[in-house]
Structure 1
Amino acid sequence: MTGFASLPVAESGPSNAHLTGQSKILGPSWLRIPSLTVGLLGVRVLWSVEMSYASPYLLQLGLSKSWMAMVFLAGPLSGLIVQPVIGVLADGSTSRWGRRRPYMLGGVVLCMLSMLLLGYTRPIAGWFTRLGTNSNDTLTIGLAVLSIYSIDFSINAVQAVNRALIIDTLPSTQQASGNAWASRMMGVGGIAGFFIGSIDLPHFLPFLGSQQLGALSAIAALLLFGTQALTAVLVKEKVLIRGDPTSRGFWKTGLKGGFLAMWTSMWTLPRVIRKIFIIQFFTWLGWFPVLFYTTVYVGDIYKRTAPPSVPRDAAFDAEATRLGTQALLCSAVVCLAGNVLLPFCISSRNSRQYSGRTRGGWGAGWKMHLATMWAISHLVFACCMGATFFISTVWGATALVAVTGMAWAVTLWAPFSLLGEAILSEPSSEHGSIIVADARHARHRMSGEEEEEEGERERFLVVIADDEDEEHSDDDDERKRGRLGMMGNSSAQLSMLDMHAAAGEEYQIHDQPGPSGNDLSAKAGIILGIHNICIVIPQLLITCLSSIIFALFDPTKSVLHGKPPGSVAGNGTVIAKSMEMDSGTENLFLRSEEGGEAAGVDSVAIIFRLGGIAAAIAFVLSLRLARELKYR
């Protein structure tokens, strides 16, 4: 059975080009959105391997925490460079396979090769140097760092295309549903990656090698290829056709123009989109360290609280990594539960529960706006980071990491849904756009109690300006026509958020004649590129700050001493000896358990707490955004 979802974005790429054909998703109707988003499952499996094993692996190779933090600049740098470039190039691609899929498949191939390089760095280094020599150790470290940079650069390209496909293929009414499914797929991928990582793979799959990381990397690469290939086969795109066949290629002329357009668009975006970007800036100041340092944080606590009778050998190191991965697995399980359950707590904009809290509505009391839930997730995360002051056991750290899974579920879903809807429904300029709405159940606000007056019809015009007190309407018929141009103004639109669309329903959006250059949807790739810049800049800042904190409080200490988990003998290099800090900042010290290692400054917890402060700021900003969106 073949279904379709019309492409609502980018009807005109470059000024002399247009899209032709039809965008559709093959397969049964109930599988269309899962087929569109399943590629993110493979992306998340790959991220989970890097998140849980890359940090301890680098520490085992002899890098200090400070240098380890600098290596993880790969993530924000790739996001800052790769995703905007891919967005610009994909928007102007004239491939007969579509604009997104060629870049997606190219990124998948590079990512698979890089993942295998990370898993088998020591054997590959052995092709060129002799095992056990200093040159072999140096080359192994170099290959490991190179593989991490290659993974981050290629997986960011794949993820950017996957996100763009959601906006390209689904109308605004299904953006929330599509992004919720994307979040669910990433939740399943996280559970799969962390669960597979907790299994003794060399024992069950000896043909993949004697190293745990090598076997895990091979499985992750295969899962990435399978999921992305499924999306590439089942999702069909429109093709960009250039009006001037003699024009020079987009590679030569489009990049410069694309970055110029990105710079210009950055200062002319609607207010709602700008606010989302600012909130994302503070959000990722807090989240980035948690994603990559959690295994180190839990392993550090385990080493400090373990009795002295436990031998400090390779098995001890493996247990520390396993406990960190186990904490991330718990977080992934909670995240998946949130991805499944939380969408039912969101008020649908085309229902009376969104605008009226109608009498007798059984769900009106507990449903909330998506932006409100996003704000609550920031508050939960900030509280968890503050709780690190009181955590001194592995069990407590695991519980704390698990709770953050609920906030992470919303972070994966809410901003992309809000942004996708804003792109598809907001006019490109807030000046002069007129919205016509029919308020059949308008609420009149009084100074005291508020009462609803049903049956009243009121027609009004709202000029979109910089005030936050717009009236809102709940007329379903008018919202269904929200994508049409109104009063002769093609950029004036209304949108709706449908969280529970019928599985078999087909959507098609008919564009009114008129210039499409002012339509924000024509700049989806550019806007997503700007959005990604607002995500990666805080990652760069917090990574540099983390490196400084590690250099001050933990200059040469590696959390996990000895060989990496699941590795063969001789796979590690000499680790620098731990240095102890003096007791001048005792409030930052971990409590020394009886029989445990000497207490020292928990440098990772310091970084987590700074992230909690940023999350508190994001909470306040999100509340303001929710108030504005609720009454639009």
Structure 2
Amino acid sequence: MPQAARWAGTPSIKGRSESTRMALLTFSLVGLQFTWGTEMTYCTPYLLQLGLTKSKTSLVWIAGPLSGLIIQPLIGVIADRSRSKWGRRRPFMVFGSFVVAFCLIVLGWTAEIVGMFVTEPEKVGAAKKVTIALAVSSIYAVDFSINVVQACCRSLIVDTLPIPLQQAGSAWAGRMCAIGQLISYVVGSIDTVSIFGSLLGDTQFKQMTVIAAISLILAVAVTSYSVKERVLISARWVNSTIPMEDRELTDENRDSDGKGGAIQAISQLFRTTMELPPRIQAICWAQFWAWIGWFPFLFYSTTWVGETYFRYEVSKDQVTKATDMLGEVGRVGSLSLTVFSSITFLSSVLLPFCIQSPDTKRSRFTPRPPPGVAAALKAVTAVRPDLQTAWFISQIMFAATMIFAPLAHSRAFATFLVAACGIPWAISGWAPFAFMGVEINKLTMNGGTGGGGMAGQATRSGVTMITSASVRNSAADTELEVLRLNHRDSDSDGDEEDQSSNIPSTGELAGIYLGVLNVYTTLPQFVGTFISWIVFTLLEPGAQPNKDSDSSDTQWMNLDKDKPNAISICLFIGAISALVAAEATRRLRYVP
């Protein structure tokens, strides 16, 4: 029987209360989501302003799913095996955040950078093409590097928390994402140029890239300083999906090569993806269909609201007089998404108290509420749904909202539809990670074998675990004390070998399984990109000049009221996909 991983050090989070520790653990997601919000708000109209058609712009956004498909699973496997003295996740988070910051600055100043090398007036056409190429390359670089940060931020949460706290950790992550998103859209809706002047740049877009870069570095620094990880000494754990006859060979390879190579990492990822446990597979398929619907909403909603406003509510004379149309569209779209993010934040704060935790029951001890509210709390507790039901309802709600997108002919109605999606988005950013956290830790509770045997208790190196042949049906699984982490420092006992454990502890497989979930999150984005490309090609094949305007700054928007809005059609198709996701979520309850 191959040994499990060996660890040294004590995992801990600074802070005196559980709420403080949860906030510090997930604080990096504030900067991460601020950066995503800035990219999704400004980059689509920015590329359109540079001269790309909507069909070509939709192909640019293949950067997101491509980077997620490649980087997140790969970095998850590599980080799982990292033996850095700083931990497995934080070094990648810190390095990745600085790379993201650099790429954001390049993205904001693409025209100036190209202008340093192309100064001849006769080469203006060539300079424009180079500017577009540099902007697209910068977006790809941002997406690839930010996925490194995102993968490790999510894995750090699963690494640190036991099963009873997985839903709470995912809920706190959802809150921090909502906060970052809200701040991003609030700042984006303000005329920052009038506030900062030219200190951070001479346009709204430039200033937003600088603010996003600074916020990401600071947020990652807070989490990295506050969280102490265990240090991996020997990466001899194995994937539970690898057949038993292959496991010894895997360990021998790792012994001969201290660090798993890229080919081995990709091989492990592929095998894990092909041999997922049934419930993890079901969770991934629900995520797959859901993200076909969420992709056009996240990347085009700002442009859609702004274009709806300028198409139906602004006169052509006012459009002609606009000097910074990119900034105007960004501010209009950000204002609607500010309402969306506010609802997302409130939902992420309140809904966890109204939804039962997955696969756990109440502990033996429950604090007694005041008599005046006891009856009300009892009534609410009796009817509150579980997480699977809440996820199902959220997808129905998203579909019912986006079906009306083609009927939006005013900014108020478009804003209402976007804002209503705040509730399902809060649950969608929380539910799949909570379910995955539970399933990942159940796999490690079973010793990575998933096999049978009588229930027993093993204690090694301060790790107390309750294992069972059938985790779902065992009595141990019904208590909050299913899994406890109490790792001692390797120095405390003086013998490093005594710190090893033959039973894996929580989070050892977090990187690879969350990477697989990300595969099912990114593959539908390829589908969404393809659908958007077809719709834009058919309905808006090119940027048509505005006959009543000499301003090239407005040529990239379709302001013809008699033509259908292509983005609305993409949102409608996404609503249909959300209905399929709802059915996949409903079936999750019946998967053993």
Q: TM-score range by the shorter chain?
A: 0.7 to 0.9
The 3 A distance-change label for structure 1 pair 484 and 359 is farther
State whether structure 2 residue 219 is matched by structure 1 residue 222.
Answer: no
More displaced stretch, 89-98 vs 384-393? 384-393
The 3 A distance-change label for structure 1 pair 335 and 601 is same
Alignment of 1:235-250 (within 5 A): 235-242=227-234, 247-250=256-259
Q: Which residue of 2 aligns with 1:183?
A: 174
Q: Which residue of 2 aligns with 1:310?
A: 318
Shift of 1:352: 8.6
CA distance in 2, matches of 1:86, 1:365: 42
1:49 to 38, 42, 50: 38
2:361 to 347, 350, 368: 350
CA distance in 1, matches of 2:6, 2:434: 26
Q: Which residue of 2 aligns with 1:383?
A: 400
Maintained 8 Å contact 2:320/2:554: no
Maintained 8 Å contact 2:48/2:556: no
The 3 A distance-change label for structure 1 pair 340 and 601 is same
Q: Which residue of 2 aligns with 1:35?
A: 24
The 3 A distance-change label for structure 1 pair 487 and 497 is closer
Q: Which amino acid aligns with 2:568?
A: A
SS in 2 for 1:95: coil
Shift of 1:270: 2.1
Q: Which amino acid aligns with 2:169?
A: G
For structure 2, the residue ranges without an aligned partner over 5 or more in a row are 236-251, 365-374, 457-462, 489-498
**Cα RMSD between the aligned structures?**
3.5
Q: Which residue of 1 aligns with 2:263?
A: 256
Alignment of 1:528-543 (within 5 A): 528-543=514-529
Alignment of 1:249-398 (within 5 A): 249-250=258-259, 253-305=260-312, 306-315=314-323, 317=325, 318-348=327-357, 349-351=360-362, 361-398=378-415
CA distances 1:555-606 after superposition (whole Å, capped 9, x unpaired): 113799999xxxxxxxx97786888xxxxxxxxxxxxxxxx84411211111
SS in 2 for 1:555: coil
More displaced stretch, 315-324 vs 406-415? 315-324
The 3 A distance-change label for structure 1 pair 195 and 432 is same
2:425 to 408, 431, 436: 408
2:566 to 589, 600, 603: 603
Maintained 8 Å contact 1:258/1:526: no
Maintained 8 Å contact 1:64/1:558: no
The 3 A distance-change label for structure 1 pair 316 and 154 is closer
Q: Which residue of 2 aligns with 1:508?
A: 485
CA distances 1:386-410 after superposition (whole Å, capped 9, x unpaired): 1124322111000000000111000
More displaced stretch, 179-188 vs 291-300? 291-300
Q: Which amino acid aligns with 1:419?
A: M
The 3 A distance-change label for structure 1 pair 74 and 489 is closer
CA distance in 2, matches of 1:352, 1:42: 35
Shift of 1:525: 1.3
Alignment of 1:617-628 (within 5 A): 617-625=580-588, 627-628=589-590
CA distance in 2, matches of 1:63, 1:491: 56
CA distance in 2, matches of 1:321, 1:430: 50
Maintained 8 Å contact 2:104/2:138: yes
Alignment of 1:582-597 (within 5 A): 597=560
CA distance in 2, matches of 1:617, 1:532: 19
CA distance in 2, matches of 1:308, 1:532: 44
Maintained 8 Å contact 1:421/1:495: no
State whether structure 2 residue 466 is matched by structure 1 residue 484.
Answer: yes
1:121 to 106, 110, 119: 110
Indicate the percent of aligned positions where both proteins have the same amino acid.
35
The 3 A distance-change label for structure 1 pair 131 and 494 is farther
The 3 A distance-change label for structure 1 pair 44 and 560 is farther
CA distance in 2, matches of 1:71, 1:202: 28
CA distances 1:44-67 after superposition (whole Å, capped 9, x unpaired): 000010011000000000000011
CA distance in 2, matches of 1:290, 1:610: 11
Q: Which amino acid aligns with 2:279?
A: V
Maintained 8 Å contact 1:483/1:493: no
Whichever structure has more helix as a proportion of its residues is 2
Maintained 8 Å contact 2:12/2:227: yes
Shift of 1:377: 0.6
Shift of 1:514: 7.8
CA distances 1:282-321 after superposition (whole Å, capped 9, x unpaired): 0100001100101121122123213344342434834333
Alignment of 1:450-599 (within 5 A): 483-486=465-468, 494-495=476-477, 508=485, 515-516=502-503, 521-557=507-543, 597-599=560-562
The 3 A distance-change label for structure 1 pair 31 and 269 is same
CA distance in 1, matches of 2:546, 2:150: 31
For structure 1, the residue ranges without an aligned partner over 5 or more in a row are 1-11, 437-480, 564-571, 580-595
CA distance in 1, matches of 2:158, 2:333: 35
Aligned length: 536
Shift of 1:351: 2.3
Shift of 1:266: 2.2
CA distances 1:100-142 after superposition (whole Å, capped 9, x unpaired): 1111111011000011111111222222122862233222212
CA distance in 2, matches of 1:408, 1:496: 29
CA distances 1:19-53 after superposition (whole Å, capped 9, x unpaired): 22111112322411110000000000000100110
Q: TM-score, normalised by structure 2?
A: 0.83
The 3 A distance-change label for structure 1 pair 412 and 109 is same
